[in-house]
Structure 1
Amino acid sequence: MSMIQEMSKYFVDPNTRIQATLITFFTTLIGAKVIMDFVKRDNQPPGPLGVPLLGYLPFFGRYPHLTFSKLREKYGDIFSVKMGSFPAVVINGKDLIKEAFVGRGDDFSGRPRFYSNTILGEETMSFGVFDERTISHKKMAANKLLEFASARKNPIEDIVDYEAKIAVTEFAQLKGKPFYPKDIIYSGVGSVIFQICYGKHTNIREEDSYFKDFILSSSEFSEFVGTGNPVDVMPWMRFIMPWKVTKFVELVTSFKAIRNKKIEENLESFCPSNIRHLTDGIIAAANEHEADPNSTLSRERIYSTIDDIMGAGFETVSTLLNWAILLLTAYPKAQEMVHAEIDNVLGKRPPRLQDKAKMPYCMATVHEVLRFSNIAPLAIPHAATKDTELSGYTIRRGTIIIPNMHSISHDKDIWGDPFNFRPDRFLDSEGQLDQTTTERFNVFSLGRRKCLGEFLARMEIFLFLTGIFQNCKFTKPANVKQYTFDSIFGLTNVPAYYETCASIRD
Structure 2
Amino acid sequence: MFAADPVAILLSIVVILFLAYVYSSQNWGKYKNFPPGPRPLPIIGNVHQIDMSKPHKTFIELSKTYGTVFGVRIGPQRMVVLCGYDTVKDALINRAEEFSDRPKAPVLDKVGENGIVFSSGENWKVMRRFTLSTLRDYGMGKSSIEDKIAEEAECLMQLFRSHGGKPFDNQRFLTTAVANVIVSILLSRRFEYEDPTLEKLIAIVNENIRLLGEPIVRLYNAYPGLIGLLPGAHKKIPENIAQMYGFIRETFAKQRQELDVNDQRNLIDSFLAKQQEGKPESTKYFHDGNLTTLVGNLFSAGMETTSTTLRWGLLLMMKYPDIQKKVQDEIERVIGTALPKLENRKEMPYTDAVIHEIQRYGDIAPNSVPHATSQDVTFRGYFIPKGTVVIPVLSYSLRDKAYFEKPYQFYPEHFLDAKGNFKKNDSFIPFSIGKRSCAGETLAKMELFLFFTTLLQNFTFQAPPSAVLDLTPSLGATNSPLPHEICAIPRG
TM-score range, shorter chain: 0.7 to 0.9
| 1:150/1:235 CA distance change after superposition, 3 Å | closer
- In structure 2, give the amino acid aligned to 1:269: E
Q: Deviations over 1:188-240 (max 9, x none)?
A: 22233223321234x6346x663233223223323332325131121123442
What is the deviation of 1:443?
A: 0.6
Structure 2 counterpart of 1:475: 462
Partner of 2:178: 189
Query: What is the alpha-carbon distance in structure 1 between the residues aligned to residue 399 and residue 386 of structure 2?
Result: 30
> In 2, Cα distance between the equivalents of 1:38 and 1:250?
36
Q: Is the 8 A contact 2:43 2:75 kept in 1?
A: yes
Structure-2 residue corresponding to 1:53: 43
1:82 counterpart (69, 73, 78): 73
Contact 1:50 1:56 in 2 (8 A): yes
Which moves more between the two structures, 131-140 or 46-55?
46-55
Which residue is 2:115 aligned to? 124
Q: Which runs of 5+ in 1 are unaligned?
A: 1-21
Q: CA deviation at 1:245?
A: 4.9
1:335, CA displacement in angstroms? Answer: 0.9
Kindly indicate whether residue 288 of structure 2 is the aligned counterpart of residue 300 of structure 1: yes
Distance in 1, Cα, partners of 2:17 & 2:319: 63
Task: Output the TM-score relative to the length of structure 1.
Answer: 0.86
Displacement of 1:405 in angstroms is: 1.2
Q: What's the CA shift for 1:243?
A: 5.5
Q: Alpha-carbon deviations, 1:389-413, whole Å to 9, x = none? A: 2221111222211111111101111
* Pair 1:505-2:470 in alignment: no
**Pairs within 5 Å for 1:456-475:** 456-475=443-462
Match of 2:6? none
1:164 to 135, 153, 167: 153
CA distance in 2, matches of 1:420, 1:239: 41
Q: Structure 1 residue 324: deviation in Å? A: 0.5
> Matches of residues 409-428 of structure 1 in structure 2 within 5 Å?
409-428=398-417
Alpha-carbon offset, residue 472 of structure 1:
0.9
Aligned equivalents of 1:237, 1:268: Cα separation in 2? 45
Larger radius of gyration: 1
CA distance in 2, matches of 1:84, 1:459: 42
Residue 348 (structure 1) aligned with residue 334 (structure 2): no
1:217 aligns with 2:204: yes
Q: Is the contact made by 1:286 and 1:302 (CA closer than 8 Å) also made in structure 2?
A: no
Q: Which amino acid in structure 2 is aligned with residue 216 of structure 1? A: A
Residues in 2 aligned to 1:366 and 1:27: alpha-carbon distance in whole angstroms:
52
Match of 1:148 in 2: 138
The one-character-per-residue Cα deviations of 1:30-51 (angstroms, maximum 9, x if unpaired) are 7973673254153222211344
Partner Cα distance (2:485, 2:199) in 1? 26
Q: SS of the counterpart of 2:406? A: coil
2:101 and 2:34 mapped to 1: Cα distance?
19
Amino acid at match of 1:299: H
Counting only pairs closer than 5 Å after superposition, residues 433-448 of structure 1 correspond to structure 2 as: 433-434=422-423, 436-437=424-425, 439-448=426-435
Q: What do residues 279-311 of structure 1 show as CA deviations (whole Å, max 9, x unaligned)?
A: 2333333334xx213554132254132222112
Corresponding residue of 2:436: 449
CA distance in 1: counterparts of 2:313 and 2:17, whole angstroms: 60
Residues 1:72 and 1:176: Cα distance change in structure 2 (over 3 Å):
same
Equivalent residues in 2 for 1:9-28 (5 A)?
none
TM-score, with length taken from structure 2: 0.88
Checking the alignment, whether the CA contact within 8 Å between 2:405 and 2:414 is kept in structure 1 is: no
Distance 1:498 1:152 in 2: 34
Q: Report if aligned partners of 1:189, 1:317 keep a CA contact under 8 Å in 2.
A: yes
Deviation at 1:456, TM superposition (A): 1.3
Residue aligned with 1:90, SS: strand
Q: Give the SS at the match of 1:370.
A: helix
Of residues 357, 374, 399, the one that matches 2:388 is 399
CA distance in 1, matches of 2:187, 2:308: 22
CA distance in 1, matches of 2:17, 2:453: 69
Please tell me whether the aligned partners of residues 34 and 384 of structure 2 are also in contact (alpha carbons under 8 angstroms).
Answer: yes
Q: Would the aligned equivalents of 1:315 and 1:492 in 2 still touch at CA under 8 Å?
A: no
- After TM superposition, the structure 1 stretch with the greater mean CA deviation from structure 2, 311-320 or 230-239, is 230-239
Aligned counterparts of 1:353 and 1:279: Cα–Cα separation in 2? 27
What is the correspondence of 1:228-239 to structure 2 with a 5 Å cutoff?
228=215, 229=217, 230-239=219-228
* Alignment partners' CA distance in 2, 1:194 and 1:168: 20
Pair 1:39–1:73, CA change in 2 (3 A): closer
Residues 100-141 of structure 1, C-alpha deviations (whole Å, 9 max, x = no match): 11111122122222202433111332112x212321221111
Question: Are residue 365 (structure 1) and residue 322 (structure 2) matched?
Answer: no
Match of 1:7 in 2: none
Q: Is the 8 A contact 2:248 2:296 kept in 1?
A: yes
- 1:328-343 alignment to 2 at 5 Å? 328-343=317-332
Q: Is the 8 A contact 1:111 1:382 kept in 2?
A: yes
Q: Distance in 1 between matches of 2:139 and 2:474?
A: 32
Is 466-475 or 422-431 further displaced after alignment? 422-431
Shift of the alpha carbon at 1:246?
A: 4.1
Residue identity opposite 2:79 in structure 1 = A
1:494 equivalent among 480, 485, 489? 480
Question: Which structure: greater helix fraction?
Answer: 1
How far the C-alpha of 1:380 sits from its partner, in A, is 0.7
Output the aligned Cα RMSD: 2.7
Quote the Cα distance in structure 2 between the aligned partners of 1:461 and 1:263: 29
Q: Secondary structure at the match of 1:394?
A: strand
Structure 2: which 5+ residue stretches go unaligned? 1-11
2:482 maps to amino acid: A
